[in-house]
Structure 1
Amino acid sequence: MEIIRTKVGFDNMFTVDCSGRSGGLALLWKKELNLTIVNHSRNFIDATINSVSSSPLWRYTGFYGCPKRHRHAESWDLLKQLSLNNSLPWILMGDFNDFLSHDENLGGATHPNRLIQGFWEAVNFSGLFDLTFNGYQFTWDKGIGTTNWVREKLDRILVNGRWLDRFGYARVESFEALVSDHLPLAVWPFPATRIRTNRKFKFENCWLKEASVET
């Protein structure tokens, strides 16, 4: 990861080691951000962020859901736990290994309703919303071009209402991946507040017809 950090031009990095050939997380950021690692485990990295100009804090969580079906409930419980006692604008990104609807799975075995329901309930309990993104929606596939082609939306972005209030003009996209079976997702968190411009006051004659207007 240190080699990758240098190649892509980031200044700082925090990693969670893999276990054998599975797992492993990394969070990279540039020096323009004041980023503090709050907590981490094999399944998440939790941080608070603001700019050098001392803008208000917001929260970022990189998330990796348990891939094995019999352990999905552990991911839901973790998501709920992370949502507790949070008052910050919050965004989570990562591979959740779960679906919010059957439309997010094409090919292969049908995903059990209980798993879709369980993930939906965890997202709802946490006060989060699925943030839509531009680009191809199925972020993972295998067997492309064959009769066994499977496409799934495993990677996604979840945000709470405070994050939407602050970054209402965020740009979100998926991109083609050349050497991975997962598509990368990118977010540009543009503030929701529009820049005010000075406008000349204009008086409308029709206002005189209103009974509440004094002349």
Structure 2
Amino acid sequence: MISTIIWNARGINTQGVIERLKNLKIIHQVSIIAVLEPFSDTAQLNTFKSMLAMDQAISNSNGKFWLFWNTDVTCKILEADEQQVTCEINHNEVPVTCIKTFIYAKCKEYLRKPLWDRLLYFADKTDSIPWCTVGDFNVITDTDEKLGGCVYNIKKSLEFIGVIEACGLMDLGFSGPKFTWSNQRGINSRIWKRLDRAMVNDKWLQDMPHSNITHLPSVGSDHCPLLMEITARSEEHIKYFKFLNCWVEQPSFTETVEKCWNRPVEGNPMWSFHQKLKRLSCTLSVWSKQQFGDIYAKVKEYEENARILEEKLIQNNTEEDRAALHGINAEYIRFMKLEDSILKQKSQLHWFKEGDANSKYFHALIRGRRRRLFIHKILKDNDEWVQGDEYIAKAACDYFQDILTGEEKVIDEAPLECIPRLINREQNDRIKAMPSMEELKEVVYSMNPNSAAGPDGMNGYFFQKLLGYY
């Protein structure tokens, strides 16, 4: 795991800041420390490097940004100015080269313009490289990120929001206190804001989705230190069956489902239904591999084949080459539509207009949702935080085992006699009666066809199509 501390400390040698950094370094096994506004002469940089037991240190041009790192990290400075330091970073535990831009933005809006220009520049250069921007941006993105004081004028943030969108950056979110800065004035004059944050590009979410930010207590400064943790986890996981809506458009789908479903299964109706669904999921998985293969790989393959045939057609314009190109283009378009359908279903964008397509945007949404589902740490009943997949799994098992294996107690049913009977026998018989086919159809067709699949992998669209056969 790579741990990084980013802190606008308002003076590295005041109010026990250096001691706290030492403690944080030991507790979280920090490899990189970024100190904003050290309020100390750069001649003292090496002294503080030794005090923090770090191996390397640099300062930016105006001395308002100090960066320290250990030898387990290879850090190459790509660019540094008054508001940002950009580094190329490698770590022994995470075999991915990434770019980090540490930010200390100016307080005045017009002075931040050069910083936004540099972010736009790096966004263009790092499209295929994991890139993270983290630090004190001195501006918020939403009125909810401020508490106290006058009502915030969101127009002050429009330029920053525009830069975030143009750079394709996504907020990593956080755990801990909501706000990272306070003016530390009296109760009636106190203001809180979230000025410090971490944002990453799509490639970062793809290669390092197990990244999280924690807002640590703001002891010794008006800013919270940010703890950034990147955990290297095994990507080996079980791939569960998920029904794809695009399957129903294929000519052989109906026949495949009917043949599988009509094979008899012995047992009571619910057992039979469960077994048929289980068998059908296996059948559809095999059928999909034979019918399509890897759809994402096919799109790239047909795109490359189309490019080769176009070049060949330019050099040798024959009827055979034109026919071959038309055939490849038709297959290319077919697989692009399949990919678009799958991405829309996975990203669950019900409002997205038919015909619009942006696969990169869809992939980013999917990765962002998956990242939010990761459990980085949990809090036990004794207020102890637990990290690590094995420890989290054990704590979860212990918790539910305690709940589900409690002491056997006999329930006294006497108080139940005091509850009045509001349902008569006739109403009760109607409730217990088997539903008619019309009632079943009404319920099934009222389902959202794009609803998330259940444990069996089937969504509302599948059941609507299945019911249509009867």
Q: 1:72 to 1:113 in 2, by over 3 A?
A: farther
Structure 1 segments of 4+ aligned residues over 4 angstroms from their partners: 204-213
Structure 2 runs not aligned, ≥5 long: 1-44, 239-274, 288-470
1:154 aligns with 2:195: yes
Letter in 2 for 1:10: M
Letter in 2 for 1:107: G
- Write out aligned runs for 1:18-167 (5 A): 18=62, 24-52=64-92, 55-86=95-126, 87-167=128-208
Q: Flag the structure with more relative contact order, 1 or 2, with Cα contacts below 8 A and sequence separation at least 6.
A: 1
User: Shift of the alpha carbon at 1:52?
Assistant: 4.3
SS of equivalent to 2:103? strand
Query: TM-score when scaled to structure 1?
Result: 0.83
CA distance in 2, matches of 1:34, 1:117: 36
Q: 2:58 aligns with which of 14, 27, 45?
A: 14
Tell me which residue corresponds to 1:173. 214
Q: Percent identity?
A: 24
User: Shift of the alpha carbon at 1:151?
Assistant: 0.3
Q: 1:170 to 1:161 in 2, by over 3 A?
A: same
CA distance in 2, matches of 1:190, 1:61: 19
Q: Which has the larger radius of gyration?
A: 2
CA distance in 1, matches of 2:143, 2:72: 41
Letter in 1 for 2:46: E
User: Shift of the alpha carbon at 1:164?
Assistant: 1.1
Letter in 2 for 1:66: K
User: Shift of the alpha carbon at 1:66?
Assistant: 1.6
SS of equivalent to 2:125? coil
Deviation string, structure 1 residues 180-207 (Cα, Å, up to 9, x no partner): 111000111113642469xxxxxx9964
RMSD: 2.7
Letter in 1 for 2:111: R
SS of equivalent to 1:84? helix
User: Shift of the alpha carbon at 1:144?
Assistant: 4.5
**Contact 1:66–1:74 under 8 Å retained in 2:** no
Q: 1:207 to 1:125 in 2, by over 3 A?
A: same
Query: TM-score when scaled to structure 2?
Result: 0.40
Give the structure with the higher percent strand.
1
User: Shift of the alpha carbon at 1:3?
Assistant: 2.8
